[in-house]
A = this chain, B = another copy of it.
């Protein structure tokens, strides 16, 4: 949580917090001013000497965040205060050429893009690392039988590996999507006062290209200062990262329940109950997903942006995006920690399957019988068996063996390992994609 030291490790993320910090914000704005000056020199708009001075001044200038607080309050953006400092640093001859023809939003939006480029790189690395660690876990448990659970009920057998594959697949999908998000997001913003680049006369297009080149960013069809769909897309992607980790956290918190106990978390001691081991990080993943989703909504609302600059909609982004980026970072970090440390208990998983008189094999039994009688009859028979076993405690397979005289190898039918379908190949297919990722 940006700003809290108590909850920093639990709810925040130091590395991402740094990348969206005041200092990173200032540094990025100065880098943008420097790149603009260099691009303007390249385009013949300002003298090369002035650009050199500005570039060096911007590189070495250190501005304390607190110094910008007053001007930002007065003016609504920190750029005016920052430019004043940069002009002073550049000295009389070059001062005039600082921020030449640009508007605050050019600097801030492009700086935002730079900061987000760095954030996305970290998130991508963590996603890759998480996918790889989960792939190890998935393969390790490719044959670990457990109950598939639908609508809170044990349904049919599956494997823990298949469950883990189900956490990996969205990560791979969102990694793929990340490239698309980047394609639209990592572009310069340069429009001047209202998007026309008027001060550059006929050199607008040349300058834009040079500016983009300086920062190794792309260009959009036109300045995007009042088109915020790409920011909303970034927000939705970040929220999705928190959400897919939230799903993993939700699964694990449910598996960690006392009555299920198929996984166990380290830590999580209680202040009063000696026997507890709370799945803290799993729960935090769900909390981050809820928070991330709320913040993303604010960015989506901010797409409704008035005219050539909407001080309200734009400012709302500044409130919501930094904590959202940090939430995504924290979620991935916790995800990796969990993947590395969670204790999986195959014995308990197997025991859960035998619970409830082995009725988790009802579907299998039903299909086995369907080879010997109409399917509806088979299903009705099995349903009757489930009810009988619930009362008597007899296992379903035994009950069926007694109840019907058909040529079925009930031993085979009753073994969950024989009712796994494609679970194993699914794990391998998903993990192979992770391998490709790792290899690339």
| Chain B residues, CB < 8 A from A283 | 76, 151-152, 310-312, 315
A158, CB-defined interface residue at 8 Å: yes
Mark the stretch among A54-62, A117-125, A210-218, A235-243 that contacts chain B: A235-243
In the complex formed, the residue of B with least CB distance to A172 is: B221
Please determine whether A77 and B271 come into contact, CB atoms closer than 8 angstroms: yes
Please determine whether A158 and B22 come into contact, CB atoms closer than 8 angstroms: no
**Given the interface contacts A277-B153, A308-B148, A422-B196, does A226 sit within 8 Å of B254 by beta carbon?**
no
In the complex formed, the residue of B with least CB distance to A165 is: B222
Mark the stretch among A35-43, A363-371, A403-411 that contacts chain B: A363-371
**Given the interface contacts A5-B66, A291-B320, A319-B291, does A274 sit within 8 Å of B382 by beta carbon?**
yes
**Given the interface contacts A192-B272, A309-B151, does A293 sit within 8 Å of B287 by beta carbon?**
no
Bound Cα distance from A96 to B375, whole angstroms: 5
Give the distance to chain B from A329, nearest Cβ to Cβ, in Å: 14
| Chain B residues, CB < 8 A from A254 | 152, 257, 306-307
Chain B CB within 10 Å — which of A75, A78, A105, A196 has the most? Answer: A196
* Residues 391 to 420 of chain A near chain B (Cβ within 8 Å): 396, 419-420
| Chain B residues, CB < 8 A from A279 | 151-152, 311
Please determine whether A309 and B273 come into contact, CB atoms closer than 8 angstroms: no
A246, CB-defined interface residue at 8 Å: yes
Please determine whether B199 and A300 come into contact, CB atoms closer than 8 angstroms: no
A49, CB-defined interface residue at 8 Å: no
* Residues 162 to 215 of chain A near chain B (Cβ within 8 Å): 162-163, 165-166, 169-170, 172-174, 176-177, 180, 184, 192-201, 204-205
**Given the interface contacts A152-B254, A273-B193, A374-B96, does A316 sit within 8 Å of B304 by beta carbon?**
no
Please determine whether A312 and B249 come into contact, CB atoms closer than 8 angstroms: yes
Question: What are 17 A-B interface contacts by the 8 Å CB criterion?
Answer: A75-B278, A148-B307, A152-B254, A177-B233, A192-B421, A195-B426, A196-B420, A196-B421, A236-B236, A250-B305, A257-B257, A259-B352, A274-B363, A274-B379, A284-B311, A290-B304, A293-B297
